A and B are shown apart, each in its own frame.
With several copies, the nearest count.
Chain A
Amino acid sequence: MAVRVQAQDFDVTAEISALTRGHLGIGAVVTFTGLVRGESQGETLTSMTLEHYPGMTEAELARVEAEALERWPLAASLIVHRIGTLNPGDNIVLVVTASPHRHAAIEAAAFLMDYLKSRAPFWKKETTASGAGTWVDARDGDAAALDRWKHPSKASE
């Protein structure tokens, strides 16, 4: 039950260990890691810079996490989001969910990513080989991904 916004990298194994140690009721841990891809719309990416809204970011991530905890019986969860300038292949975001059984952990991780992407105040600026810096546009698919959580009977399938 924690959210962190940080410039430094994270270690998935270490985060899982810290989250599950001593919780012998946990049978399933799911992690989602988002990475900087090496190209954007056909152009080679040289770096990506993440801006955020300090204060609101942490508050919004905590609200998203609280909503997941209301919907699924999670034993533990974690959201870590990096800020600053990152290179292709670098980690951007980590979501970890832990629960007694696997389906809750998997669904909650998917939910956290969909909600985080639509609500947490981060903005990505990509720099390509040509030197141009471009703010990434929000994807229509992300809004559609969000919609499915509004129909509990579908989301639980």
Chain B
Amino acid sequence: MSEPTPNAVKLLYFAWVREKIGRTEEICDLPQGIATIGELIAWLKTRGPGYEDAFQRPAVIRAAIDQVHVKPATAISGAREIAFFPPVTGG
């Protein structure tokens, strides 16, 4: 896998988000104008039926930037790795 370019970010998907999208991770070149997690979700949703299904209810989607939990309003600038997943159910 090649190193991400400065504008690129690694996206990871877990549990049913992963299953619906059909992939574990990908390197994405994000278009200009996407500043927050919420905006990134809205953009991902337009990328195909799997994405649309995975992100149809943003309220049940959780996100992490560089392995730290974040909110939908959190800015993504500088992120190397962004993960999307359902509410956690460990323990």
A residues in contact (CB < 8 Å) with B: 34, 50-53, 55-56, 59-60, 81, 92-93, 113, 116-125, 135-138
Residues of B within 8 A of A53 (CB): 12, 14, 64, 67, 83, 85
Name which residue of chain B comes closest to A92, CB basis: B91
B residues in contact (CB < 8 Å) with A: 12, 14-16, 64, 67-69, 83, 85-91
A59 and B14 contact, CB distance less than 8 A: no
A116 and B91 contact, CB distance less than 8 A: yes
- What 6 new A-B contacts, CB under 8 Å, besides A56-B68, A135-B86? A60-B67, A117-B90, A120-B88, A120-B90, A120-B91, A121-B64
Nearest CB of chain A from residue B50's CB, rounded to whole Å:
16
B64 and A56 contact, CB distance less than 8 A: yes
A56 and B91 contact, CB distance less than 8 A: no
Complex: A93 Cα to B88 Cα, angstroms: 14
Complex: A59 Cα to B81 Cα, angstroms: 14
Shortest Cβ-Cβ A-B pairs, 5 listed: A122-B90, A138-B87, A123-B15, A56-B67, A117-B91
Name which residue of chain A comes closest to B12, CB basis: A53
21 residue pairs of the A-B complex, CB under 8 angstroms, read: A51-B15, A52-B90, A53-B14, A55-B67, A56-B64, A56-B83, A59-B67, A93-B90, A93-B91, A116-B90, A116-B91, A119-B88, A121-B88, A122-B88, A122-B91, A123-B14, A123-B15, A124-B90, A135-B16, A138-B86, A138-B87
